[in-house]
Amino acid sequence: MSILLAVTGWDPGVWVQRMRALLPDHRITTPETLQDRAAIRYAVSWRHAPGALADLPNLQAIFSLGAGVDHMFGDPQLPEAPIVRIVDPDLRDRMSEWVMLHTLLHHRQQRRYDRQKLQRIWDDDESQPAARDVRVGILGLGVLGQDAARKLSMMGFDVAGWSRSPHRIEGIACLHGGEGLDALLARTDILVCLLPLTTRTRAILNASVFARLAKGGRFGGPVLINAGRGALQVEADIVAALDSGVLKAASLDVFETEPLPATSPLWTYPNVFITPHNAAISEPSAVAAYIAGQILSLERGQQLENVVDRTRGY
Ligand code: NDP
Ligand code: OXD
């Protein structure tokens, strides 16, 4: 039985090595070395080239090397086989670290102290709000959003979350649907986006949403934190909102175009933190173990887990 590893932008070598070690009875191949298409039972994809998974008559599952699966849907020849996404504590914890770090960087005004340090200024002038007086709104209450919500809540922040369907999470105000979004925005000082990119969420982080965020919060304007996908945000609207003061600051891990072009104005804002789409990397050992575990349990007759709903797009 063979596994086809089709990745773009990442070194396939490390993944081939990990998968071989965990599945010694399976042959791991890449599109470049693929000979027997009928032998392929599983595909492993990260932004695979369109058509790379076509004509695999015995394909049983497609594994995404990321939690997000939007990278596959641009392929007009994507096979019908079930798509499995990553749900893994290593990736989840990495994302929550990033979200907590960036929430705290804004909450504790770290940029201000960085500037003061460069100028050797000792100024403890400004009052520091308590976490309980800061309202965090999380878009997306899935695996990543729920974990970040719980951890921020444990730190004392006043946390609400928004999803497509209703949820109940102790200590978190859970909202959903169109009205829920209005209510969430109206009570949000720090907006954290952990949504998947779908036809319904594309460009959701736009001028209209920024204008509905809470005014009169503790930072002199709301803060945007996005680690979902770049196409969730309208960067021209972020720049305009930063210029007009509708947004006070931002932390962005994902961008409309990646790598973020050197010409992007986002680089120039002192109050915008930029990270290179590595809020939660897919750590090869953890993710290969997750995929190998799913393959072995499928071969023992069990069901695949974390299968994507193609009609919802996530
Ligand atoms: P999940 O599928 O577990 O959760 C998605 C959440 O978004 C769910 O709560 C879902 O609602 C909600 N949602 C989806 N569509 C809508 C909508 N139209 N309106 C309101 N809510 C909606 O995903 P994960 O938490 O695992 O991951 C989220 C995303 O994070 C990934 O898709 C990926 O894009 C991104 N990511 C980024 C990384 C990075 O390094 N920057 C790393 C890993 C992931 P419901 O609960 O009702 O279904
Ligand atoms: C993911 C990512 O989806 O790294 O896992 O973006």
DSSP 189-224: SEEEE-PPP-TTTTT-BSHHHHHTS-SS-TTSS-EE
Asked whether residue 126 carries a pLDDT value surpassing 90, the answer given is no
Instruction: Quote the CA–CA distance of 215 and 221 in Å, as a whole number.
Output: 6
Distances (CA, A) of 23 to 15, 26, 40, 170: 12, 6, 14, 40
| Per-residue pLDDT at 4 exceeds 80 | yes
Across the range 73-80, mean pLDDT stands at 98
Q: Where are the alpha helices (DSSP H) in the chain?
A: 12-22, 89-107, 110-118, 143-154, 177-186, 207-211, 235-244, 284-299
Q: How confident is the model at residue 125 (pLDDT cuts 50, 70, 90)?
A: confident
> Which residues are catalytic, by number?
229, 277
Mean pLDDT (the chain) is 97
Condensed to tens digits (0 to 9), the pLDDT of residues 210-242 reads: 999 999 898 899 999 999 999 999 999 999 999
Q: What is the mean pLDDT of residues 151-155?
A: 98
Rounded to the nearest 5 degrees, what angle is found at the Cα of 138, between the Cα atoms of 269 and 277? 50
Find the 161 Cα to ligand 2 centroid distance in Å: 20
**Taking a C-beta distance cutoff of 8 angstroms, is the pair 251, 105 a contact?**
yes
Strand pairing partners for 190? 136, 223
The response to whether residue 164 sits with its C-beta less than 6 Å from ligand 1 reads yes
Residue among 91, 94, 147, 197 whose CB has most ligand 2 atoms within 8 A, to mutate = 91
Ligand 2 site-directed mutation target among 282, 287, 306, most atoms within 8 Å of CB: 282
Which tokens go with 285?
Answer: 């050992």
Cα 227 to Cα 96: distance, rounded to the nearest angstrom = 10
Among 18, 22, 21, 25, which residue's Cα sits nearest to residue 2?
25
Indicate which ligand has the atom closest to the C-alpha of 92. 1
Does the CB atom of residue 67 touch ligand 2 within 6 A?
A: yes
Residues 6+ apart with CB under 8 A from 92: 143, 144, 147, 280
Average pLDDT of the segment spanning 134-143: 98
pLDDT of the residue at 127: 81
pLDDT tens digits for 7-25?
999 999 999 999 999 999 9
Task: Give the C-alpha separation, 140 to 146, whole Å.
Answer: 8
Confirm or reject: Cβ of 66 under 6 Å from ligand 2. yes
Look at the block and give the residue holding tokens 């705290």: 104
Return the ligand 2 atom nearest residue 66 CA. Answer: 5
Where does the pLDDT of residue 1 fall: very low under 50, low under 70, confident under 90, or very high at 90 and above?
A: confident
CA of 282 to the centre of ligand 2 (A): 7
Tell me if 4 sits within 8 A of 12, measured CB to CB: no
The residue whose two tokens read 């089709």 is 6
Report the range of poorest mean pLDDT among 46-55, 123-132, 162-171, 252-261.
123-132
As a whole number, mean pLDDT of residues 158-177 equals 98
CA distance 167 to 175: 8
| CA quadruple 89, 92, 97, 98: dihedral sign | positive
Ligand 2 centroid–CA 197 distance in Å is 11
**Residue 84 CA, ligand 2 centroid: distance in Å:** 13
Please name each of the domains of the chain with its CATH number: 2-88+282-299 (3.40.50.720), 92-274 (3.40.50.720)
Predicted confidence (pLDDT) per residue in 268-300, tens digit: 999 999 999 999 999 999 999 999 999 999 999
Asked if 66 and 84 count as a contact pair (C-beta separation under 8 A), the reply is no
In this predicted structure, the answer to whether residue 98 has a pLDDT above a threshold of 80 is yes
Number of H helices, E strands in the chain: 8, 12
DSSP state for residue 302 in the 8-state scheme: P
